[in-house]
Amino acid sequence: MSNENGLIYRISGPVVTAVGISPRMYEVVRVGDEGLMGEVIELHGDQSVIQVYEETSGISPGEPVIRTGQTLSVQLGPGLLTQIYDGIQRPLPKLEETMGVFITRGVDADGLDLEREWEFNATVKKGDEVSSGHVIGTVQETETIEHRVMVPPNVSGKVKSVKSGTFNIKETVCVLEDGSEIAMMQEWPVRHPRPFVQKYAPDVPLITGQRILDFLFPLAKGGTAGIPGPFGSGKTVTQQQLAKWSDAQIVVYIGCGERGNEMTEVLDEFPHLIDPNTNKPLMNRTVMIANTSNMPVAAREASVYTGITIAEYFRDMGYNVALMADSTSRWAEAMREISSRLEEMPGEEGYPAYLSSRLAEFYERAGRVQTLAGSDGSVSVIGAVSPPGGDISEPVSQGTLRIVKVFWGLDAGLARQRHFPAINWLNSYSLYPQALDQWYRENIAPDFPEVRTEISTLLQIESELQEIVQLVGSDALPIDQQLTLEVARMIREFFLQQNAFHDVDTFSDLDLQYHMAKAILTFQEEAKKAIAGGGQLEDVVNVPARTDLMRGRFEKGYAERISDLVSEMSKQIDASMEAN
Amino acid sequence: MSGKEYRTITDVKGPLVFLNKTEPVSYGEIVQLMLSNGSIKNGQVLDTSDDQVIVQVFEGTASVDRQTGVKFLGDVFKLPVSKGLIGRILDGAGRPRDGGPDIVADDMADIIGAAINPYSRQSPESFIQTGISAIDACTSLVRGQKLPIFSASGLPHNDIALQIARQAKLVGSDDDFVVVFCAMGITAEEYNFFVHDLERTGALENSALFVNLADDPAVERLITPRLALTAAEYLAFEHDYHVLVIYTDMTNYCESLRQIGAAREEVPGRRGYPGYMYTDLAMLYERAGLVKGKKGSITQFPILTMPGDDITHPIPDLSGYITEGQIVISRELHQKGIYPPINVLPSLSRLMNAGIGDGKTREDHKSVSDQLYAAYAQGKELRGLVAIVGEDALNERDLQLLKFADIFEHQFLRQGRDEDRSISEGTLDLAWDLLSNIDTKYLVRLDQKWIDKYHPNEKSGKEEE
């Protein structure tokens, strides 16, 4: 490596220009006397432009800049799960240990604990032919997750020796004939997607337990979704609900440029939450990345790449991974900030012209794939977007919508009415139902897609009727349309609204969702019959059993009771007709 | 740095001074400018390279010429901190303004402030009773929160901020708040109003004031809040105080930020504000909170006036994305003569759920709050409908909700400037009283068990049985 040391020429916020070195693009360098971490983002004649991941006050021109020869990489291996990192994979608990509650600078920390020993069980034997991505052994990383140790990229050959036992992650556990030594830890540059054999079309839903999402606008495993919404509309709560309840095996949660107290809430809450699928703490399957809004902006830019690389690594083991990024707008703003310091020619609203291609590259790292080892794994990406003023015509929202297949549009008006999740059912969409319908028919109910269509049609009709009601009042409508309005109200208040803070209501499995939707349709059918038979709409709507059915969803054991509640409601509606 | 003086200014542009120099100067370093008339101005390095330095001058560049001497002080901006800050009034650059002596420093604190490690934060969960029903019931404040007041010109946001400062307390605790007040570009009249009120209630002795008025240098506004927050951090995390930081007006702060950006010919973001405004605001707002192992806390009440009452303007918009909710002041309510004119519908407290409920406020708080919102929101919506079709077209339920919206505004929101309502008897019981104007069957947000226990009619009904 030539010219390993150079000098600082200029400093402007997080952007530092160095002279006297000729590094490669995206190489990591050490800046200044304190050795702050930075990444080369532009080469310009003799000058190298560096984005620095730490605060630059007090640094002067003339201080040294040292090449490392490495690109920005993450350490991958046992010890990732349950960890919480900053944007460049420094463990936050470790930082607290070394520098107290405030994040000062110039402190380096390994992403993984290099000393800790793990119980490694070899799954290959001497003489086996292995290549990159092949699993050579396993480690029980947490109670619920088995870590599969893989052959690192660009390594292959015949196993010469392999040993089970207790090792730290840097010790060699396997040697190949050609002399390559394999340890449990490997490194990967974050800006490069990890390799796989091929991408499959997604055909299994990612079940989130959130009724409006699963039922009306489902996301497939390996799919992409965007959640744009103005502030206060519940983006973060929705993201956290997904992190808690989605049936992925691994969850990577990126808090990108968001609030410190919100991250703390997640950190306090997750260890106490129980995964409904395994009955073990959710934390066991979670990796968190927290780069709050006041932490260095360059590290924020890197945080989404750190996150998705970790997600891909678990995908390569054959797991279904869900990645939440909250919020991609803050990531885009970090790009804008750095771009403006570089005095680049701006695109729309000051964002760099490469904004949409960066967004596309990021979302494209999602997918359900055949891994190098031949198994099935997926990364689903759910990105929150925070459009200024809630106006989604801005560049980040538009760049996102062009790529993602699911759009969960949060609505300030609904949030104001305390209708949560405040997802607008009229403008949200999912392009996955067709691919998933077969799965629903086989696993939930043969008529699942039809029930969904009926529910969304009712909501559509309601919105049209509402326009008339706005003009003439609901009493002026014919009775069958008044009933439709009642049914739609029931869909909204009983089915679409879901209380994230309520022990029971916070999660509904697909079976229950189906039965609740059916219950609404049953009500509609019975009510129609009753009205045709001379019943009064008022009486039908106010049968006590319907209130019981609706309030019952807050009580434990609702799934077992719902069919009884529905038959009781039908009975009472019948009776109300006879009373007339 | 030896304190060498340069006389190499090449350009002066707005608040910025460009000069050539020979020795290395640090980014963020503090600078003194010696004018030919003998006066001294202060500044800070914004950009530094081998041959040129850009300095932002806090007091403005009036009278600066090419002969002005420039001295680099070899250090970043620091504030002398001590407990002696309490009871003092300082100017926007941290110098005494009350005629008192200089602050005797126990320590010199870097005003930029390091980010709190998210892992080291403690979740805010202690309810602060403000005695204002609209806030306590619907947008509850908790200790360690940052909750801005979104207001607009001509509205009584200052009265509300002062009432909160006066009345804020933890239920069942004697801990008082220390108020750190930070004025950025407000008028002398507003400033006098604040000081007078703090004096009247004796709160001044428990406050530290940092004041940059409308006729003080605009660029100085960029450091004033940092000084205030540095003082707040020192008091909270070194001396275990619970600090309430009120700053007004954030809009002036952002204007100054835009001014600097324009002078540097930076690529502007929305409406000319710099692209890094989000990060810059976050570096102020995020200095609220509680940290593990420390007793003190910082709660922030930034006040900002929305230009043109527009909540989507970049200043309220970016603030709303960082702060933990907002209290929105409504011109409509103000014109109806309702004080405090808090519009609870767009107002929000994100940390509310952590701070309310059994053992903190009252078990029914969440349900009551949801029901108030829902009923008021629907009632307000019906007003629009009634304007078109008249009340005759409404059914029984809608009529009740319509009436409730008026009752809510006039009896729940409205209260005196010195009226301090307790959360349980003052606010929640009042809410139940008012909700009893609506038929129980329409109160779908209320759990039956709370209706049985707290509803005035149900309670009396039971007694009759």
| Beta strands, E only, A393-446 | 406-407, 429-430
Which range, A149-153, A411-415, B55-59, B310-314, is most confident? A149-153
Reply yes or no on whether the pLDDT at B160 is more than 90.
yes
The model's confidence at residue B462, banded by pLDDT at 50, 70 and 90, is very low
Q: Residue B330 contacts by C-beta under 8 Å, 6 or more apart in sequence?
A: B341, B342, B343
The Cα A495–Cα A517 span in angstroms is 7
Yes or no, beta carbons of B24 and A100 under 8 Å apart = no
- What's chain A's average pLDDT? 91
> For the range B419-426, what are the long-range contacts, defined as Cβ-Cβ under 8 Å and sequence gap of 24 or more?
B419/B131, B420/B131, B420/B167, B421/B131, B421/B132, B421/B133, B421/B136, B422/B129, B422/B131, B423/B127, B423/B129, B423/B136, B423/B137, B423/B171, B423/B361, B423/B362, B423/B365, B424/B361, B424/B362, B426/B131, B426/B133
The model's confidence at residue B231, banded by pLDDT at 50, 70 and 90, is very high
CB-CB neighbours of A352 under 10 Å: 22
Give me the pLDDT at residue A435, please.
93
Reply yes or no on whether the pLDDT at B1 is more than 60.
no
Identity at A113, one-letter amino acid code:
D
Q: At what angle do helices B314-322 and B277-285 cross, to 10 degrees?
A: 50
Identity at B415, one-letter amino acid code:
Q
Paired strand residues for A28: A39
Residue B119: DSSP 8-state? G
Interface of B with A in 95-124 (CB under 8 A): 110, 112-124
Yes or no, beta carbons of B278 and A257 under 8 Å apart = yes
C-beta separation of B244 from B177 below 8 A = yes
CB burial of A515-530 (b: ≥16 within 10 Å; e: otherwise) equals bbbbbbbbbbebbbeb
Q: At what angle do helices B188-200 and B157-167 cross, to 10 degrees?
A: 20
How many Å separate Cα A425 from the centre of its chain?
21
CB-CB neighbours of B187 under 10 Å: 12
Over residues A397-422, the pLDDT tens digits come to 999 999 999 999 999 888 877 788 99
**Closest CA relative to residue A146, chosen from A118, A172, A106:** A118
The model's confidence at residue A182, banded by pLDDT at 50, 70 and 90, is very high
Give me the percent of chain B exceeding a pLDDT of 90: 56
C-beta separation of A559 from A518 below 8 A = no
Yes or no, beta carbons of A259 and B441 under 8 Å apart = no
C-alpha atoms less than 13 angstroms from C-alpha of A87 in its C-beta half-sphere: 30
Yes or no, beta carbons of B317 and A388 under 8 Å apart = yes
φ and ψ at B271, to 5 degrees? 45, 35
Give me the pLDDT at residue A304, please.
96
C-beta separation of B241 from B234 below 8 A = no
Yes or no, beta carbons of A261 and B324 under 8 Å apart = yes
List of chain B residues whose C-beta atoms are within 8 Å of the C-beta of residue A61: 24-25, 48-50
Yes or no, beta carbons of B278 and A293 under 8 Å apart = yes
The model's confidence at residue B464, banded by pLDDT at 50, 70 and 90, is very low
Interface of B with A in 20-79 (CB under 8 A): 24-29, 46-50, 76
C-beta separation of A11 from B47 below 8 A = yes
Residue entry with tokens 């049953």: A522
Name which of A292, A386, A470 is nearest B115 (Cβ-Cβ): A292
How would you classify the pairing of strands B9-13 and A286-291?
Answer: unpaired
- What's chain B's average pLDDT? 89
CB-CB neighbours of B140 under 10 Å: 27
Quick check: helix, strand or coil at residue B397? helix
Q: Is A578 exposed, middle or buried (0-12, 13-18, 19+ CB in 10 A)?
A: exposed
C-beta separation of B5 from B32 below 8 A = no
Q: Is B205 exposed, middle or buried (0-12, 13-18, 19+ CB in 10 A)?
A: exposed
Quick check: helix, strand or coil at residue A2? coil
Interface of A with B in 13-52 (CB under 8 A): 13, 17
Q: Which of A267, A294, A467, A503 to mutate to test the interface with B (most CBs of B within 10 A)?
A: A294
Yes or no, beta carbons of A297 and B266 under 8 Å apart = no
φ and ψ at A357, to 5 degrees? -70, -35
What's the average model confidence in pLDDT over B273-282?
Answer: 89
CB burial of A17-40 (b: ≥16 within 10 Å; e: otherwise) equals bbbbbebeeebbbbbbeebbbbbb
Reply yes or no on whether the pLDDT at B36 is more than 70.
yes
Q: Which residue of B has its CA nearest to A288?
A: B119
The model's confidence at residue B459, banded by pLDDT at 50, 70 and 90, is low
What's the average model confidence in pLDDT over A243-248?
Answer: 90
The model's confidence at residue B465, banded by pLDDT at 50, 70 and 90, is very low
Complex prediction ipTM:
0.82
φ and ψ at B354, to 5 degrees? -75, -20
List of chain A residues whose C-beta atoms are within 8 Å of the C-beta of residue B300: none
Paired strand residues for B52: B20
The model's confidence at residue A2, banded by pLDDT at 50, 70 and 90, is low
Identity at A187, one-letter amino acid code:
E
DSSP-assigned states of every residue in A309-349? HHHHHHHHTT-EEEEEEETHHHHHHHHHHHHHHTTPPB-GG
**Closest CA relative to residue A184, chosen from A80, A283, A286, A83:** A80
List of chain B residues whose C-beta atoms are within 8 Å of the C-beta of residue A549: none
Which strands, in side-by-side order, build the sheet including B325-329? B89-91, B207-213, B177-186, B242-248, B297-305, B149-151, B325-329, B342-349
Over residues A495-523, the pLDDT tens digits come to 999 998 888 899 999 999 999 999 999 99
Interface of B with A in 342-401 (CB under 8 A): 345-346, 348, 350-351, 353-354, 366, 370, 373-374, 377-378, 385, 388-389, 393-395
DSSP-assigned states of every residue in B232-288? HHHHHHHH--EEEEEEE-HHHHHHHHHHHHHHTTPPB-GGG-BTTHHHHHHHHHTT-
The Cα A101–Cα A95 span in angstroms is 8
Residue entry with tokens 């500044």: B43
Name which of B46, B351, B395 is nearest A475 (Cβ-Cβ): B395
Terminal C-alpha separation, chain B: 86
C-beta separation of A54 from A16 below 8 A = no
More confident residue, A72 or A474: A72
A321 at the B interface (CB within 8 A)? no
A55 at the B interface (CB within 8 A)? yes
Q: Can you read off the two tokens belonging to residue A124?
A: 């290959």
Give me the pLDDT at residue B267, please.
79
The model's confidence at residue A579, banded by pLDDT at 50, 70 and 90, is low
C-beta separation of A177 from A129 below 8 A = no
Paired strand residues for A384: A227
The Cα A121–Cα B56 span in angstroms is 62
Q: Can you read off the two tokens belonging to residue B162?
A: 């002062």
φ and ψ at A191, to 5 degrees? -85, 0
Give me the pLDDT at residue A239, please.
86
Reply yes or no on whether the pLDDT at A276 is more than 80.
no
Reply yes or no on whether the pLDDT at A124 is more than 70.
yes
The Cα B287–Cα A440 span in angstroms is 48
**Closest CA relative to residue A40, chosen from A50, A55, A52:** A50
Q: Residue A158 contacts by C-beta under 8 Å, 6 or more apart in sequence?
A: A127, A128, A129, A130, A176, A177
List of chain A residues whose C-beta atoms are within 8 Å of the C-beta of residue B27: 11-13, 56-60
Name which of B320, B353, B393 is nearest A475 (Cβ-Cβ): B393
The Cα B354–Cα B356 span in angstroms is 6
Reply yes or no on whether the pLDDT at A389 is more than 80.
no
The Cα A209–Cα A512 span in angstroms is 10
What's the average model confidence in pLDDT over B261-289?
Answer: 87
Give me the pLDDT at residue A172, please.
95
Name which of A96, A232, A470 is nearest B348 (Cβ-Cβ): A232
Q: Can you read off the two tokens belonging to residue A487?
A: 């049914």
Reply yes or no on whether the pLDDT at B407 is more than 80.
yes
Q: Can you read off the two tokens belonging to residue B125?
A: 């969960």
Interface of A with B in 377-396 (CB under 8 A): 386, 388-391
